[in-house]
Structure formats: C-alpha cells, structure tokens
Amino acid sequence: MAAVDYNILETEYDLDIVLIIKHIGKSKQMEKYCLSLCNPKVIKSTKTRQLKGLIELLRNIKSWFCICCSQQFYTKVNYGKHMLSNEHKASSLGTALIDCSNKNCRKRFVNQNDFEEHLQYSHKCSKSPRNGAKLDKLMMLENVKRQKYLYDKFITNPNSFTVYEKNEWNLQMLKDKQRNDLLKENEYGLLTCEPKPPNKEEESIQLKTADDYLKKWASQDKQEEAYENELEEASTIWRDMVPCEPLEDVEYKLKKNNKI
C-alpha cells in the first residue's frame, strides 16, 4: 500500500496539511482517506467520494473536541455518545464518578442521588459493605459542604436566606448547642450563639487551673495519709492488747498482785 504523500494532498486537493498531520495518527478513517487519495491505482470516482468524506471530516473535527474533558473525537456518533456519557457529566460538574463496589455490577454514577437510587433498586449491590461505607462518606461530605455554604452565606449576606435555609440553619444551631451556649435570634431571624455567663455557685466549685487540681490532690493525699496513720495506730493498740480472761480470774489476779 502506498504511503501518504502530503505534497499530493496539498497541491492536487488543496487540503489543510497541518490539520491532517496533527490528527492522522489518531484517526483510522482519516488515514484511509489520505492513503486512497495518494494511491494512483484507486479509480477517480472512489477518490472523489473519499475526498468529500475527508473534507467533511476536516471541517467538523474542531467541533468534535470536548473542551471539558480535553478529548478529541473523529465521528459525530462517538462525539454524541461521549456528550451523553456519565464520564462527561461528571467532568462538567467537576466531580468524580461513583463506582458500585459490587464486582458483578461496577456501574458508574454521576452523583449521590443516582447512586442511592441504584442501591435502592439493586438488592445485591445494597448489601455490599463497601457500598454502604461509600454512601455514608458521601452523605457526610454533602452535609459538610452544605453547612459550609450556609455559614459563608451567614457571614457574607445573611439577608438572602430563604425560609427553607433559615429553618435549616436554626435546626442545626439547636442540634450543635452546648450546655453553656446561649442562642439568640438576630434581626434576620437566624439563631446566633453566645457563651452563657457561668453560674457563680458553679464557678466557685469548678476547678479551672492546674494549681486547683494540685491543691485538690494534695488535700486528698493528706486525708488519705491521716486515715492510714489512724489505721496504723489502731492496729498497734490492738496488737498490744492482752486478751481478756473471765472476770473472776482477773479479779483474783488483781487481789493476788496487790495482796488484798
């Protein structure tokens, strides 16, 4: 088979050689057209038909480039399939595809909603522990993303909260409320958190510094030491005690010793 003669393509057919050289190594169809046009054995009618196809290909090749995915296509059919694919949708949204962990499935999904729907209607896939862990992580990330969105809106433009967003914000504030937090509603109807003033009685008994803890522990040590000393003293007294004998015998001994 004859090689591609770019001089023939440029001089005889007035084709864009630069564009052909750029893409011919990636398009089998373009290579076929160029080889046919450069082959003197191919009849004129065939060359006319293939020249028309090559011109059409060169005319549309720029519009078959997906900027979002940085991917070039060489047929209208393949370009159309790509634009409808999940890969393109995920790339256009700036997200990664979610793969089903079931080895017998391996379907790919653009967003969390599609993935949840798949698990809802696929019993085998829903039983996969990895799918469950993946869904939990996605829900957590979505929740964090939503909270960040509401917080940024609260800081920059609190007046733009919708009724739904306002309820969502207030419910989250109530959920995150700590014991010493004091919630107040601002001028936009949004709950804000302020530290609650400590109760004086509680403050007097609460240990707040390392010195307070050291003093408490030292006091406890002294109490334990005093208690141990009392036990030791009582034990000594007990050891030194003479077991009592019957009363009449003791009285007899006392009389004998005193010679009563």
Q: In which residue are the tokens 């609650």 written?
A: 196
233-248: average pLDDT: 52
In the structure, what pLDDT confidence band is assigned to residue 247 with cuts at 50, 70 and 90?
very low
Q: What is the pLDDT of residue 113?
A: 85
pLDDT confidence tier of residue 134, bands split at 50, 70 and 90? confident
Contact 82, 73 (CB under 8 A): yes
**At residue 63, does pLDDT exceed 60?**
yes
Give 158's DSSP letter.
G
Residue 172 burial (CB < 10 Å; 0-12/13-18/19+)? middle
* H helical segments located in 65-194: 76-84, 86-93, 112-121, 123-126, 129-156, 163-176
The whole-angstrom separation of Cα 224 and Cα 219 is: 9
C-alpha to C-alpha distance for 128 and 114, rounded to whole angstroms: 17
Pick 207 or 87 by higher pLDDT. Answer: 87
What gap in Å lies between CA 50 and CA 66, rounded to an integer?
26
Whether the model clears a pTM of 0.85, i.e. scores above it, the answer is: no
Q: Residue 183 — φ and ψ, nearest 5°?
A: -95, 135
Where is 234: in which H helix or E strand? helix 210-240
The span from the CA of 188 to the CA of 28, in Å, is: 64
Q: Which amino acid, one-letter code, is at 80?
A: G
251 pLDDT above the threshold of 60: no
Of the chain, the percentage scoring pLDDT greater than 90 comes to: 25
* Cα–Cα distance for residue pair 26/48, rounded to 1 Å: 23
Domain ranges of the chain: 6-71, 213-260
Mean pLDDT of 84-90: 89
Asked if residue 210 has pLDDT above 60, the reply is no
């992580």: which residue's tokens? 137
Does 49 have pLDDT greater than 90?
yes
pLDDT tens per residue, range 141-170:
778 888 888 888 888 888 899 999 989 888
Is the model's pLDDT at 53 over the cut of 50? yes
